[in-house]
Amino acid sequence: MSDNLWGSGPETSEQRQGKPSVDPQAQRQPVVSADSKEWRLIEKMVSSLSVEQRRSRRWGIFFKLLTFGYLFVAMYLVVGDNFSDKAISSEPHTALVDIQGAISADSEASADTIVHGLRAAFKDENTEAVILRINSPGGSPVQSGYVYDEIKRLRQLYPTTKVYAVISDIGASGAYYIAAAADEIYADKASLVGSIGVISSSFGFVEVLEKLGVERRVMTAGEHKAFLDPFAPLKATERQFWEGVLDTTHQQFIDQVKKGRGDRLKDDAKLFSGLIWTGEQSLELGLIDGLGSTGYVAREVVGVDNIVDFTPSMTPWEKLADRFGVSVARTLSTELGLKTPPLQ
């Protein structure tokens, strides 16, 4: 009788006694135990694959960081001069500070930005005069007031350094407020100048809510806390109060313009009515001192046609944050010291 590898041969009586029956089919399946060589080999293979995947991920992260670092260095080499203040001329020059766009705390024409440029321009020992090149419809009276006061302060610190305002397309409202602090104001014959006034506008939606059947629910502590609510009627007493606020602000504006322009202003009530005039008309009214461009003022008035721009510009990180709304870029800009410092 030939031997059977799977033990299917007859058993002796001693073997059958006390021994449980075994399914022949089950006996034919090879069993891989946890201690077997095959099992240890499988565990080793799985562990090796896991280690390899972790190693691959680490290298992937490393190369991504390396690429980012390379791009950062390349950007710095290309636009590195934008990370610092603009180069200062070692020769006598006319300093230029731009005021472009609406004047507000969160715009490029903020008081912080303008004052930063003015301080640098006055501080430079080679600055013969400072030109404020203005192209702005105005904006915040508070921001404009900050710049006005700073110009007056710097003129006292540097009495020999004059300030000239040059209006290009428009210099109205808060922009003219700033210009009034200059020693002289120039504009093109077609420039728009003036708008010495204060405005507050809104809409009233009371009847709209009534037609839609919408109930307005506002809870306040203070009788007039919600007096500018566009969904509630404006009371006569509240209108009178708010007009008083506007009148006070308007008078502050008028006082500063008169202080800056002095006797050069014509005695005309329309000057402070909020109207706006061309450069030619402004010259007749005493709102400006002459007609001319930035180059003309530097060459003919200051006598130094070498113009150096002291206008603080947005850094690449700030431009990235502004374009894509990425707060991380702005944070890095601050941490790396690449941002225009605030007012002191």
243-258 tens-digit pLDDT: 999 999 999 999 999 9
What's the gap between Cα 96 and its chain centre?
A: 22
Helical segments of 286-315, H only:
294-296
Please check the confidence at residue 21 and state whether its pLDDT lies above 60: no
pLDDT at 94: 97
pLDDT tens string 170-227 = 999 999 999 999 999 999 999 999 999 998 888 888 888 888 898 888 888 988 888 8
Mean pLDDT over residues 250-267, rounded?
94
Kindly indicate the confidence band of residue 264, based on its pLDDT and cuts at 50, 70 and 90.
very high
pTM of the prediction? Answer: 0.68
- Partners of 89 in the β-ladder: none
Please check the confidence at residue 62 and state whether its pLDDT lies above 60: yes
Helical segments of the chain, H only:
13-16, 24-27, 37-79, 111-123, 141-157, 174-179, 206-212, 236-261, 279-285, 294-296, 316-324, 327-335
Using DSSP's 3-state secondary structure scheme, residue 56 falls into helix
- Partners of 96 in the β-ladder: 131, 309
The answer to whether the CB of 94 falls within 8 A of the CB of 308 is yes
Q: What is the largest CA-CA distance in the chain?
A: 137
Alpha carbons within 13 angstroms on the beta-carbon side of residue 229 total 16
Q: Minimal CA–CA distance to 312: which of 344, 285, 342?
A: 342
- Beta carbons within 8 Å of 1's beta carbon, 6+ residues apart: 9
187: tokens are 């504009």
Mean pLDDT over residues 311-323, rounded?
60
